A and B are shown apart, each in its own frame.
Chain A
Amino acid sequence: MKKQFLSFILPILVFCIGIIGMTSFTLLDAFILDRPIVDETIIRNPTLTRPQRGTEAPPSADSTPTAPVTTKTPVTGDTPVTGDTPVTGDTPVTGDDPVTGEVPVTTVIPETTSPPPVIEYPIVSDRYYKDENIEITIEEDVMINKNGVATKLFYVDLKLSDIEYLRTFIATDRGRYSKDTVANMAKENAAIFAINGDYFTFRERGIVYRNYEAIRVTSRKRSDPFGDDALLLMADGDFFMIDEAQVDGSTLPLDTYQCFSFGPRLLEYGDMMVDENDEVGQSANSNPRTAIGIISPLHYKIVVSEGRLVDGDGLTLFELAGVMARLGCRDAYNLDGGSSTTLYFNGEVLNELPKDKEREVSDCIFINGYSYSEEVGER
């Protein structure tokens, strides 16, 4: 009996205990135990230079961003007309005086007009926001995807006067499981508008910069399930995208305002960068998506598609890239999607969520509204 115990039962017991221990520890480590997912000490060595763009105009270059609107100097018809009024080429000349040779000048007195209305900012509606520095327009659309299913899309047109109005927020203490919903993060930051970011704590690698701060400089590899495309948002409001595998994260330029680590890149200088077979990891083809594109510096397009719903399964990356191209984006980049996809505006989540529940994510991209600024301090 003792021999049988030693030769059979004991090894089986030891094996079972060992295998249960290893399995439990792996699952604990993956789902429950927390650990920092950012680099503790980062020494920046900003040697990377921006890639040179071609000289030709981007596919649908837009005008410069909206300049601040001056509303306190209304033009009135009370301007006194004096004899000092200079003669300009626009001044109608009525005819020469043959005697004196003087040219009588008829000054056109501007018609008395009522002053233009003084615009009081912010202007806020269900799908629109505008103040002196920010303009957000949200439109809805329905698109039939490749499966013949109608999918609801939200197009966000974003114009800023300064890139620092587009901010990001990381939930709580930056641990792997420090998460919150986009709506909560938006409310915490008194945001008028917010979308999900790249959920970078989901992965152990990936270059991440937030609001000029280097959070993580460990590059992804090309073989990573999510690829290695990173999006850099620069201080002048321009975009450019890099292959993380070829870049040391600490060498990003000093004017790197944000660096998102998800991908893939959808458009680059108007060219489609994905094909019909491209997908994020092992995901299904059609999914809820969030993508950001640039028309020109400080003018962006954000597309959010619903999906995983009874009446809509989402878009493929190829379809999403097509949408971004149709909107006239020069460059476009895919952010985290699936259940993470969230579009928050003026106190409510606009897109219908899978399972009707908002997923908690590590970070969000947001814009503080004018009327909310008192809550977070004057900008």
Chain B
Amino acid sequence: MTRAKKPLIIYFGMTVFVLLFGIVYTHFGYGVTSPYMSYAFLPLALVTCFHFVLAAFPAVKLPTRYSHMILAFFSTAITLYLLIKGILEIAGAYSRYDVMLLYTAIFFGCAFIGCYVSQYYTKKQ
């Protein structure tokens, strides 16, 4: 297994797990659904696609060695946020602290974009 394929398989597995989790959870929710739960797999699916591009086109590389970690942090935080929000919505419960996960995800999302931007300027110099 090449270095690029390993995260692809991990992310794909995680996407399928989250998708199945959402389906099973909604099934036992007396028909109460939540778009957060239904689409919680989407960020992971997008990251999987991104890794697919990395695996298919070796010329495309992540800018720094920390980028994998930052991307993993981002996808973990956003997926957890969506799952928690979905669970709360289906249960009809409410918490004002779920946004902490969203802010964390936004922070790491911005950091990941920052890695690309900094790489661009580094090359230019």
Q: Footprint of B on A, CB under 8 Å?
A: 7-8, 11-12, 15, 18-19, 22-23, 25-27, 29-31, 202-204, 225, 281-287, 308, 338-339, 354
Q: Which 9 A-B pairs have the closest CB atoms?
A: A284-B31, A30-B95, A30-B93, A29-B95, A22-B100, A26-B97, A26-B98, A282-B33, A26-B95
Name the B residues within 8 Å of A203 (CB-CB): 94
Pairwise interchain contact B73-A15, C-beta atoms closer than 8 A = yes
Structural contact, B32 and A282, CB atoms closer than 8 A: yes
Asked if residues B88 and A30 are in contact (CB atoms below 8 Å), the reply is yes
Q: What per-residue 1/0 map shows which CB atoms of B82-99 lie under 8 Å from chain A?
A: 001001111111111110
Q: Give Cα distance in the complex from A282 to B35, angstroms.
A: 9
Is A282 touching B89 in the complex (CB atoms < 8 A)? yes
Residues of chain B within 8 A (CB-CB) of A15 are: 73, 76
Q: Does B48 contact A (CB under 8 A)?
A: no
How far, in angstroms, from A27 to B80 measured CA to CA in the complex? 12
B30 touches A22 (CB 8 A): no
Do B30 and A338 touch (CB < 8 A)? yes
Q: Which of B34, B90, B96, B98 has the most CB of A within 10 A?
A: B98
Chain B: interface size category: 20 to 34
Q: Distance in Å from the Cβ of A245 to the closest Cβ of chain B? A: 18
> CB within 8 A of B96: which of A27, A29, A31, A202?
A29
Are A11 and B30 within 8 A (Cβ)?
no
CB distance from B96 to the nearest CB of A (A): 7
- Kindly identify which residue among A31, A225, A287 contacts B89, using a CB–CB cutoff of 8 Å: A225
Query: Is the pair A282, B34 in contact by a Cβ cutoff of 8 Å?
Result: yes
Contacts of A308 in B (CB 8 A): 30
Which residues of B from 56 to 72 have beta carbons under 8 Å from A? 66, 69
Contact B100–A26 (Cβ < 8 Å)? yes
A7 to B92, CA, bound (A): 41
Is the CB–CB distance between B69 and A11 below 8 Å? Answer: yes
For the complex, what is the distance from the CA of A283 to the CA of B29, rounded to whole Å?
A: 9
Q: Which among A18, A30, A281 is the interface contact of B104 at CB below 8 angstroms? A: A18
User: In the complex, which residues of chain A have a beta carbon less than 8 angstroms from the beta carbon of B80?
Assistant: 19, 23
